[in-house]
């Protein structure tokens, strides 16, 4: 925050200002609203929340609201010392007559991003990773993390209190089955585990001869003084000029699809599905412009939307229209119970167990199935694809400007990873329609590049040296589209091994970029194309080849992907997916080449007997020619890269100053 | 049968001969045993069953037993006229108070091959295809077949009585839900449907407001006068010299694996799993040398084997040893019920619903999971791989001799598909250790080659003409291995289009043959390699790329395969799988190139960071060079084919006469 703050004049004075501005909220309600604002990310418009209290507020009201926010912020920062938290949780176990409690890193929506209020795992344990789970029993406690975090967890967590476990090697279910005492009562928060997860956990508990008990109040919330409130960030309309299809049309289509499958309604728990369906955006979680809410969509197309109404920006009601009934979020569980003997679709892998409990209590027939918005949301309409192309053009200008800037500076040995990431953000912020980055930039030089989910911090930051590789994976949220691009750049002269590996990764990238495939093909079927050149010499990379990307929404979305994992989801026209093969040499360097691509019908193919698709590449930024081992590429691959570079120059060249353009012309020369 | 038969001297005289030979069976028991023999395929040793009555029988007993068999055969050939069968089934519905009955084409083992007794669908409807299902209601009846049979079913079945339906477009469940009257009682035979199938069917019946009722006696059996008996064919030991691992070792390993997973036992219903486990072979079904039986394998490694004991050849008991308790097949259901409160593994996709019903009735905990023999059976041991190599060498001699013979004759325009298939069988039968073909030879010229599962008959047989392609897919059962090979040969001069298509299929074949892949890779991940060159021009083929193959067992076995379908089963060392991409132009020609390959560790790969596998090709026979469009192949592909052909000459050349060898030398010249 860069605003100037005046001293707080007191609740009484503020109440007067509010009244004068025509605001009917009393001062206590304003304080709780501000607590929610503090629980939300700041985003690119950190003061937009003021509209939720007093639209178009002027001084001195505006200044006083801002200072109130910093006061509330300071109040919520206080909490129990970290060393006492597990003990406090055990005391709470005793109070409830439980023998253990499960603390996952999820919120009520089981999404990738959680607001500060839901980051109970971090508060309880100190673990900073983006996935994990703790189980605290009376005598023992463990924290489960995946392969990315097995080293990190030992530095962040007191391992005398919490035994670190590898999620895949000792899954929580196995640990429960072996560790929970017979007759033991294990508590869980039914908001924070999917129905499938609870079913699996129950089996493990029963194996141990224990019992799994849902808890109406989360045990961590009971002991977490200073816990953030649920986030409050303004919910705004997503303009039809970007969405391409009205919310009314979307609702009618989803309703008709449910009807055709014999469902009366579906419960939506994914915030991005609801944001897509209602053509709204928000800011409750970092980097993904969506409000947290729940919804029930009926076969008529009508929607019951359960949301903290304080988040609704002025005029949002009119945008939503008559088909959307706005209900307070607190009423959601009761509304589920009142659905009664109808058939309702719910996704068992993502919807909270509590939702199933409530539906069952009401006698509802549950049709387990996919979120009905997932597939239509993934298949972007022509307006969204047009927006994606425009967003990528601007993003390509920023990335290319950064690469030109980087080329001069990196070899000096004086440039750090953080400086590079900041400079890239600066170039992006000079473009139009930008709202945020789409994720924290991965800016890894030398050995840091080999850490797939590297997050640069002041502790890990380092200066780049000639002879190293620099990997930068970044993206932005534009009103008209979400971007995600990775480039790997040689600092100085690369080794022959680096060039060999880079070229094999590039061959994989080109194989995906040029693939043609019949209707019905899934990303799982294409995946090997990205790895073939690496496999030929006994190498591989340990992440997926591609993830779905939203349209000014989450940078990771389903249901499609390109990966080794078997998948039955076919790639369809309009889907956007990343194409990002890589190679990582631990403690040495990392390589990744990532463009976003979209599925398009195959251009007229003479004699084709099937309906064929191919990819259109959306991302435009030069690929480092200095890293190419030319004899490893065949003619077709060289032709692709030359054509791609020609297109880069055409797309992003016009947006540049003369010096940068000259650099770009050199960087995109034919091989 | 080519044996000479003398007139039957009467039951009294035969009884005297039997007594004189020391046989204790009375004449009625001999007659029922012979009825079982009539219900089994003849196989390559059609008189071996005599040992089951009187080991080493001499004349005149031997001759009288053979003539008795032909008498029994003639007796069972009588049956209701086909036009009256559906009506008779409806009368049986009335007698039982049912509104419908389901007739699948399966036996109690849900396997690919069914003995004549279980071919109820064929008897009831006249349909000759290898998959399908009929549902007969009081007023309506339908037959469901897959895409292969939609034309054929209309010529074989009275469509005024049985409405033909496409399995995928109108699944039986949908038809039931729409057609069964409310309150209707639909009967089914719980031996003939898997647990999963019954669950799905029950949902459909409930949707119609009806009820699904298991029937203790199959309704078709009740009206089928002259129905064959369950097959009786001698069960013989499978020698350790071919099996490579003793049955005792296999039993101990399977038992230990069950124990480790918390199971007390597993029910085995797949005849090939039991044949593998006990190192036995038999002849109850065509083309696959396995006896029909059931088994329960305990965690101790002990096996309860439920089998018609009349099938046991002399000395088999000693081969089985103490760990195998031989029980009469009729006792199997009762034995399931008596397992009681233990945990038992059963495969829900293949085990009959009756098995689940009995286990539940006995209070057994069912652990649904894969057949525990499926994976170890698929991973051939070194002795089996050695046997496979030897069998393929002999098979390659036969196929190459056939191809040389064919090259001279096909262009005359006088050769028919049946003559070609017969000649190929003759060459195979001249080799050592052959016991049978592994499936009915597919011998398709011109448009017949485009029918993927073409079965030549006197009605469809045709003479080959220059300008056509000939596709021959065939294989054999050798004591030391099972083979399966497809070659496509140009008769005269092929068109440029044929060469283009053949070469693209060949590129796919080579891509699979040369693939390297890390441990954990499934066949589904590799599949695209076989299709990539076709997809590039908008073409594809509508079958899997590869199926597992047994070791002197079924030519189709799981759990691995190479196909578009998602699969979580990794390819492991010793697995044998076919590599058979194809291309089919309806009404014109068919192309398929099939070799069997086995998974081997990747030869020393300098710098490899992963445990890598590759395929060793087992099949040796020339690939038609006249069909290759050379410019479509890259250097690596040409090198593979030249090396393969060199190896063909080295492997199979020595087994040939001089003229054939000269032809082979030409056929295997470098491109």
- Spatial contact of A95 and A223, defined as CB atoms under 8 Å apart: no
| Cβ–Cβ below 8 Å for B535 and A527 | no
pLDDT value, residue B5: 55
Strand A365-368 relative to strand A343-346: parallel, antiparallel, unpaired?
A: parallel
Is any Cβ of chain B less than 8 angstroms from the Cβ of A527?
yes
Place of tokens 């035979």: B189
| Cβ–Cβ below 8 Å for A516 and B536 | yes
Is any Cβ of chain A less than 8 angstroms from the Cβ of B475?
no
CA angle B471, B532, B493 (to 5 degrees): 35
Please name the member of B525, B539, B608 whose beta carbon is closest to the beta carbon of A564.
B525
Is any Cβ of chain B less than 8 angstroms from the Cβ of A368?
no
Least CA distance to B568: which residue of chain A? A566
pLDDT value, residue A1: 41
Residues of A in contact with B524 (CB under 8 A): 524-525, 566
H or E, element range at A201 = helix A195-207
pLDDT value, residue A265: 98
Please name the member of A529, A532, A539 whose beta carbon is closest to the beta carbon of B609.
A539
Quote the distance between the C-alpha of residue B516 and its chain's center.
29
- Secondary structure, 3-state, B477-511: EECCEECCEEEEEEECCCCHHHHHHHHHHHHHHHH
The runs of H, that is alpha helices, within A313-448 are: 316-320, 332-337, 353-361, 374-378, 382-409, 417-429
> Is A432 buried (19+), middle (13-18) or exposed (0-12) by CB count in 10 A?
exposed
Residues of B in contact with A532 (CB under 8 A): 529
Q: Report, as an integer, the average pLDDT of B42-64.
A: 91
Please name the member of B528, B564, B608 whose beta carbon is closest to the beta carbon of A529.
B528
- Spatial contact of B10 and B71, defined as CB atoms under 8 Å apart: no
pLDDT value, residue B159: 93
Tokens of B473: 């897919």
Does the pLDDT value for residue B70 go beyond 50? yes
Least CA distance to B565: which residue of chain A? A568
Is any Cβ of chain B less than 8 angstroms from the Cβ of A607?
yes
Tokens of B653: 């050349």
Least CA distance to A526: which residue of chain B? B528
Mean pLDDT of all residues belonging to chain B: 94
Tokens of B501: 């298509």
Is any Cβ of chain B less than 8 angstroms from the Cβ of A418?
no
Please name the member of A537, A539, A605 whose beta carbon is closest to the beta carbon of B537.
A605
Q: What's the pLDDT tens digit per position in B284-293?
A: 999 999 999 9
Does the pLDDT value for residue A76 go beyond 80? no
Residues of A in contact with B518 (CB under 8 A): 535, 538, 540
Q: Report, as an integer, the average pLDDT of B71-77.
A: 81
- Spatial contact of B198 and B188, defined as CB atoms under 8 Å apart: yes
> Is A654 buried (19+), middle (13-18) or exposed (0-12) by CB count in 10 A?
exposed
Mention every residue, 6+ apart, whose C-beta is less than 8 A from residue B642: B670, B671
- Spatial contact of B465 and B413, defined as CB atoms under 8 Å apart: yes
Q: Report, as an integer, the average pLDDT of B125-138.
A: 93
Tokens of A108: 């009520």
Instruction: Assign A10 to helix, strand or coil.
Output: coil
pLDDT value, residue A634: 96
Nearest to residue A391, comparing CAs of A441, A426, A436? A436
| Cβ–Cβ below 8 Å for B525 and A524 | yes
Strands (E), A231-353: 236-237, 265-268, 280-281, 294-298, 303-307, 324-328, 343-346
Backbone angles phi, psi at A415, to 5 degrees: -90, 135
CA distance A515 to chain B (A): 8
| Cβ–Cβ below 8 Å for A540 and B566 | no
pLDDT value, residue B184: 96
- Of the CA atoms within 13 Å of residue B535, those in its CB half-sphere come to 24
Tell me what percent of the residues of chain B surpass a pLDDT of 70: 99
Strand A612-617 relative to strand B485-491: parallel, antiparallel, unpaired?
A: unpaired
| Cβ–Cβ below 8 Å for B528 and A528 | yes
CA distance B164 to chain A (A): 25
Does the pLDDT value for residue A4 go beyond 70? no
> Is A241 buried (19+), middle (13-18) or exposed (0-12) by CB count in 10 A?
exposed
Residues of A in contact with B528 (CB under 8 A): 517, 525-526, 528-529
Mean pLDDT of all residues belonging to chain A: 94
Does the pLDDT value for residue B559 go beyond 70? yes
Tokens of B641: 């084919």
Is any Cβ of chain A less than 8 angstroms from the Cβ of B343?
no
pLDDT value, residue B1: 41
Is any Cβ of chain B less than 8 angstroms from the Cβ of A608?
yes
For residue A386, whether the previous peptide bond is cis, meaning omega lies within 30 degrees of 0, is: no
| Cβ–Cβ below 8 Å for A605 and B517 | no
Tell me what percent of the residues of chain A surpass a pLDDT of 70: 99
Is any Cβ of chain B less than 8 angstroms from the Cβ of A604?
no
| Cβ–Cβ below 8 Å for A525 and B522 | no
- Spatial contact of B599 and B574, defined as CB atoms under 8 Å apart: yes
- Secondary structure, 3-state, A524-553: HHHHHHHHHHHHCCCCCCCCCCEEECCCCC
pLDDT value, residue B42: 87
Is any Cβ of chain A less than 8 angstroms from the Cβ of B496?
no
- Spatial contact of B308 and B36, defined as CB atoms under 8 Å apart: yes
pTM higher than the cut 0.90: yes
| Cβ–Cβ below 8 Å for B537 and A608 | yes
Q: How confident is the model at residue A5 (pLDDT cuts 50, 70, 90)?
A: low
| Cβ–Cβ below 8 Å for B540 and A516 | no
CA angle A217, A223, A227 (to 5 degrees): 90
CA distance B382 to chain A (A): 25
- Spatial contact of B161 and B88, defined as CB atoms under 8 Å apart: no
Residues of A in contact with B539 (CB under 8 A): 607-610
Residues of A in contact with B570 (CB under 8 A): none
Mention every residue, 6+ apart, whose C-beta is less than 8 A from residue A260: none
Please name the member of B515, B535, B609 whose beta carbon is closest to the beta carbon of A516.
B535
Tokens of B622: 């020339």
A332 versus A11: which is more confidently predicted?
A: A332
A39-53, A488-502, B88-102, B457-471: least confident range? A39-53
Nearest to residue A235, comparing CAs of A307, A331, A325? A307
- Secondary structure, 3-state, B634-668: CHHHHHHHHHHHHHHHHHHHHHCCHHHHHHHHHHC
Q: How confident is the model at residue A2 (pLDDT cuts 50, 70, 90)?
A: very low
Instruction: Assign B179 to helix, strand or coil.
Output: helix
CA distance A25 to chain B (A): 53
CA distance B520 to chain A (A): 10
For residue B60, whether the previous peptide bond is cis, meaning omega lies within 30 degrees of 0, is: yes
B331 versus A73: which is more confidently predicted?
A: B331
Question: CA quadruple A123, A128, A129, A134: dihedral positive or negative?
Answer: negative
| Cβ–Cβ below 8 Å for A566 and B634 | no
Residues of A in contact with B520 (CB under 8 A): 564
ipTM of this complex: 0.90
| Cβ–Cβ below 8 Å for B612 and A535 | yes
pLDDT value, residue B4: 55
pLDDT value, residue B567: 85
- Secondary structure, 3-state, B498-562: HHHHHHHHHHHHHHHHCCEEECCCEHHHHHHHHHHHHHCCCCCCCCCCEEECCCCCCCCEEEEEE
- Spatial contact of B479 and B242, defined as CB atoms under 8 Å apart: yes
- Residue contacts between A and B (CB atoms, under 8 Å): 83
Question: CA quadruple A6, A11, A12, A15: dihedral positive or negative?
Answer: positive
- Spatial contact of A275 and A553, defined as CB atoms under 8 Å apart: yes
Residues of B in contact with A518 (CB under 8 A): 535, 538, 540
| Cβ–Cβ below 8 Å for A607 and B537 | yes
Cα(B472)–Cα(B499) distance, integer angstroms: 17
Could you tell me what percentage of chain A is helix, strand and coil, using 3-state DSSP and rounding each to the nearest 5? 40, 20, 40
| Cβ–Cβ below 8 Å for A612 and B538 | yes
Does the pLDDT value for residue B120 go beyond 50? yes
Cα(B664)–Cα(B643) distance, integer angstroms: 14
Strand A324-328 relative to strand A303-307: parallel, antiparallel, unpaired?
A: parallel
pLDDT value, residue A79: 75
Interface test with B, best of A524, A542, A562, A633 (most B CBs within 10 A): A524
Is any Cβ of chain A less than 8 angstroms from the Cβ of B605?
yes
- Spatial contact of B436 and B474, defined as CB atoms under 8 Å apart: no
Q: What's the pLDDT tens digit per position in B400-414?
A: 999 999 998 988 889
Nearest to residue B1, comparing CAs of B48, B60, B54? B48
Is any Cβ of chain B less than 8 angstroms from the Cβ of A568?
yes
- The DSSP string of A120-155 is HHHHHH---SSS-EEEEESS-EEEEE-GGGTTHHHH
Least CA distance to A525: which residue of chain B? B525
pLDDT value, residue A341: 94
CA distance B365 to chain A (A): 13
Does the pLDDT value for residue B129 go beyond 90? no
Q: What's the pLDDT tens digit per position in B138-184?
A: 999 999 998 888 888 988 999 999 999 998 889 999 999 999 999 99
Q: Which residues pair with B610 in a beta bridge?
A: none
Task: Please report, for residues A82, A153, A282, the alpha-carbon distance to residue A87 in angstroms, rounded to integers and kept in the order given.
Answer: 10, 19, 37
Residues of A in contact with B530 (CB under 8 A): none
Residues of B in contact with A516 (CB under 8 A): 535-536, 538
Please name the member of A515, A537, A567 whose beta carbon is closest to the beta carbon of B605.
A537
Q: Which residues in A60-76 are b (16+ Cβ under 10 Å) and which e?
A: ebbbbbbbbbeebbeeb
Tokens of A547: 């993830």
pLDDT value, residue A93: 97
Cα(B583)–Cα(B539) distance, integer angstroms: 8
Mention every residue, 6+ apart, whose C-beta is less than 8 A from residue B405: B423, B427, B660
Q: How confident is the model at residue B309 (pLDDT cuts 50, 70, 90)?
A: very high
Please name the member of A525, A532, A608 whose beta carbon is closest to the beta carbon of B564.
A525
Tokens of A387: 């927006």
pLDDT value, residue B234: 96
Place of tokens 């047009």: A386
Does the pLDDT value for residue A619 go beyond 90? yes
């Amino acid at each position: 925050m860069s605003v100037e703050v005046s001293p707080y004049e007191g609740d009484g004075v503020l109440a007067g200002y509010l009244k004068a501005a025509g605001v009917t909220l009393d001062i206590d309600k304003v304080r709780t609203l501000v607590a929610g604002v503090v629980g939300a990310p700041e985003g690119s418009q950190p003061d937009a929340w003021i509209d939720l209290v007093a639209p178009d507020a002027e001084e001195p009201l505006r200044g006083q609201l801002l200072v109130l926010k910093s006061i509330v912020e300071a109040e919520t920062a206080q909490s129990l010392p970290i060393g006492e938290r597990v003990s406090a949780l055990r005391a709470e176990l005793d109070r409830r007559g439980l023998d253990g409690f499960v603390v996952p890193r999820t919120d009520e929506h089981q999404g990738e991003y959680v607001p500060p209020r839901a980051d109970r795992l971090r508060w309880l344990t100190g673990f900073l990773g983006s996935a994990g789970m703790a189980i605290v029993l009376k005598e023992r406690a463990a924290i489960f993390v995946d392969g990315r975090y097995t080293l990190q967890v030992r530095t962040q967590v007191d391992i005398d209190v919490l035994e670190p476990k590898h999620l895949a090697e000792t899954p929580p279910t196995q640990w429960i089955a072996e560790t929970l005492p017979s007759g033991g009562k294990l508590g869980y928060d039914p908001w924070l585990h999917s129905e499938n997860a609870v079913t699996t956990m129950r089996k493990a508990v029963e194996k141990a001869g224990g019992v799994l008990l849902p808890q109406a109040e989360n045990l961590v919330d009971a002991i977490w003084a200073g816990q953030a409130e649920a986030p409050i960030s303004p919910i705004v309309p997503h303009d039809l000029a970007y969405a391409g299809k009205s919310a009314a049309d979307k609702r009618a289509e989803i309703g008709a699809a449910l009807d055709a499958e014999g469902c009366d309604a579906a419960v939506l728990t994914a915030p991005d599905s609801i944001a897509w369906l209602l053509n709204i955006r928000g800011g409750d979680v970092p980097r993904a412009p969506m409000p947290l809410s729940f919804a029930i969509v009926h076969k008529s197309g009508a929607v019951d939307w359960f949301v903290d109404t304080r988040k609704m920006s002025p005029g949002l009601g009119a945008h939503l229209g008559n088909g959307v009934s706005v209900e307070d979020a607190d009423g959601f569980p009761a509304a589920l119970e009142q659905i009664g003997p109808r058939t309702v679709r719910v996704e068992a892998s993502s919807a909270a167990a509590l939702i199933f409990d409530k539906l069952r209590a009401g006698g509802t027939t549950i049709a387990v199935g996919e979120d009905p918005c997932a597939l239509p949301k993934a298949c972007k309409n022509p307006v969204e694809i047009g927006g994606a192309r425009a967003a990528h053009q601007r993003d390509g200008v920023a990335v290319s400007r950064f690469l030109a800037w980087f080329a001069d500076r990196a070899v000096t040995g004086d440039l750090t990873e953080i400086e590079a990431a900041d400079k890239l953000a600066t170039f992006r912020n000079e473009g139009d329609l930008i709202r945020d980055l789409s994720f924290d930039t991965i800016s890894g030089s030398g050995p840091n590049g080999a850490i797939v989910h590297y997050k640069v911090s002041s502790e890990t930051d380092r200066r780049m040296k000639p002879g190293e590789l620099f990997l930068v994976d970044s993206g932005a949220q534009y009103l008209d589209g979400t971007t995600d691009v990775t480039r790997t750049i040689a600092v100085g002269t690369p080794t022959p091994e680096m060039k060999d590996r880079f070229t094999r990764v590039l061959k994989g990238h080109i194989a995906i970029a040029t693939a043609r495939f019949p209707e019905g093909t899934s990303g799982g079927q294409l995946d090997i194309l990205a790895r073939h050149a690496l496999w030929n010499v006994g190498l591989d990379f340990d992440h997926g080849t591609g993830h779905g990307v939203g349209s000014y929404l989450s940078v990771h979305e389903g249901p499609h992907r390109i990966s080794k994992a078997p998948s039955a989801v076919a790639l369809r026209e309009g889907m956007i997916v990343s194409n990002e093969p890589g190679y990582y040499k631990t403690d040495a360097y990392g390589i990744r080449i990532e463009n976003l691509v979209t599925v398009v019908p195959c251009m007229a193919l003479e004699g084709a007997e099937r309906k064929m698709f191919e990819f259109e590449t959306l991302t435009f930024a030069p690929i480092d020619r200095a890293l190419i081992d030319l004899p490893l590429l065949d003619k077709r691959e060289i032709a692709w890269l030359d054509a791609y570079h020609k297109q880069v120059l055409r797309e992003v060249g016009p947006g540049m100053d003369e010096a940068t353009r000259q650099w770009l012309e050199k960087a995109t020369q034919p091989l």
